[in-house]
Amino acid sequence: MNLLVVEDDPAIGEPLRSGLEREGFDVRLVTNGADALAAPAADLVLLDLGLPDLDGREVCRRLRAESAVPIIVVSARGEEIDRVLLLELGADDYVVKPFGFRELVARIRAVLRRTGGEAEVRTDSRVLLGPLTLDQRTRQVTYGGGNVSLTPKEYELLVELASDPGAVLTREHLIDSVWDEHWWGSTKTLDVHMASLRKKLAPELIETVRGVGFRLVDLGDDR
């Protein structure tokens, strides 16, 4: 797996690269936002927010606009507002400095597992639900004939909801299924991603069942 590490502090970047290489990853280390945006495609990006040329949030936004590459933000900014903003911009996870190396590796593997492995277990790669189509082999989504660009987490949430149209999936189930056992963040993250899904698809497509969870409207129903 190829990782792109974007970190301007050599006291962090170099040991991080060495440690990740010992874990079996191929690592490209860059020290600024421009080089991050120009770097070859990677399987995952570790992105520091405090870069010398571009704000890390802008780098995150541009990376997400160009591809669905998983992004883990690494930052000294630990406030909830920062985490929510980055998740809204398309980040898949957020690690606050100082962090434990073993935890970081676990998060990397969990994100890679979530974004790269789920579609492989499905033998029927295409899900058709009225105007909604999910191709789990290519991870492409169309709605009403138009392509819909989703972040990895948005896509995984939609796949989970589409696995049982009309059924109510609890908040706990969705968090456990789409995030992982290491998730420590606010449950507001789920609401942020659901709001984004509704905006990109159709507001009426995903219903909130107050106090329980969410359901994908059964598009086969005529009601």
The CATH number for 165's domain is 1.10.10.10
For 63, residues 6+ apart whose C-beta sits below 8 A from its C-beta are 36, 37, 45, 47, 69, 71, 90
| 66, 89, 116 - which closes a domain | 116
Q: Which two tokens stand for residue 115?
A: 């974004």
Under 8 Å between Cβ of 163 and 208:
no
73, part of any domain:
yes
* Model confidence at 222: pLDDT above 80: no
Which of 121, 126, 163, 161 is closest to 141 using CA atoms? 126
| Gyration radius from the chain CA atoms | 18
The least confident of 99-113, 124-138, 139-153, 199-213 is 124-138
| 116, 151, 179 - which closes a domain | 116
CATH number at residue 70: 3.40.50.2300
The structure tokens 């690690």 sit at: 95
pLDDT in tens, 121-143: 333 467 788 889 988 777 889 99
Q: What is the pLDDT of residue 118?
A: 33
Helix (H) or strand (E) holding 30: strand 26-30
Residues 70 and 142 in one domain: no
pLDDT in tens, 155-196: 889 988 988 888 899 988 888 778 765 555 566 888 999 999
Domain that holds residue 74: 2-116
Q: Which two tokens stand for residue 119?
A: 């579609």
Q: How many domains does the chain have?
A: 2
Residues 72 and 152 in one domain: no
222, part of any domain:
no
Q: Three-state DSSP class for 220?
A: coil
The least confident of 105-109, 126-130, 148-152 is 126-130
Compute the distance between CA of residue 69 and CA of residue 35 in angstroms, rounded to an integer: 16
Residues 106 and 151 in one domain: no
